[in-house]
Structure 1
């Protein structure tokens, strides 16, 4: 059965994708702890991060680190938070988000999808896309 993440990657349902290649995709979560909160996922449906092959895991982390750099630079965040949770969707994913303190590490503090501002979500996605392009150009 296809996960919601696979449906976003395939374009079957809307998603704010900020990065995608043949093996990894990254898109904004619909329930962010802060605008810019991004999920980095393998394209292949793998439930547990501990089951991801080492080379794919390394690539996912490289993508997460690049997004984290953009988040720190573009969202004026003290740090880029990094979290693996993964009970809500059976598709491994890394959360990367702007963090100024530990509150972002509690997903209970996330905005509900209905409480997010679509314009701010679109702007955050575009900011990350543009930041990744600038990084690649260096």
Structure 2
């Protein structure tokens, strides 16, 4: 059975895309810890990050780095934090979270954003992207 993220990759579930290439996709988390919370995923459904082939793991990190740089240019923050938890969806994903305090990494926190705010933010991050 396809994961939620595979359905996003296939276009069966809508998302706020930030970046995409032939192997990877980055989109805004719809239940963000803070404004600008992004998920970076391989398009290939692999449950755990450590199950990725070495080359795909390295490419995912390169892609994630590019998204992080664009995110930091877009959202005011002290730095962008990265987390790989993997319990919510059994599909490798890297969380990029704009940080101003350690509480921003608390996954029990969520901010509300309108659909227009999500769209505008995704477009702004994408415009700062250098892949």
TM class by shorter chain equals: over 0.9
After TM superposition, which residue ranges in structure 1, 4 or more long, deviate above 3 angstroms? none
Shift of 1:8: 0.7
Q: Distance in 1 between matches of 2:60 and 2:104?
A: 21
Shift of 1:72: 1.5
Give a deviation string over 1:6-61, Cα, whole Å, max 9, x none: 11111111111111222111111111112221101111110111101111111111
SS in 2 for 1:109: coil
What TM-score results when the alignment is normalised by the length of structure 2?
A: 0.94
Shift of 1:86: 1.1
Native 8 Å contact 1:35 1:120 kept in 2: no
Quote the RMSD (CA, aligned, Å).
Answer: 1.2
Native 8 Å contact 1:77 1:99 kept in 2: yes
Aligned: 1:12 with 2:9: no
Shift of 1:121: 1.0
Native 8 Å contact 2:19 2:67 kept in 1: no
Aligned: 1:66 with 2:63: no
Structure 2 residue aligned with 1:99: 99
Structure 2 residue aligned with 1:35: 35
Q: Which runs of 5+ in 1 are unaligned?
A: none
Structure 2 residue aligned with 1:120: 117
Structure with more helix by fraction = 1
Q: Which runs of 5+ in 2 are unaligned?
A: none
Structure 1 residue aligned with 2:24: 24
Shift of 1:110: 2.3
What TM-score results when the alignment is normalised by the length of structure 1?
A: 0.89
Q: Distance in 2 between matches of 1:25 and 1:97?
A: 16
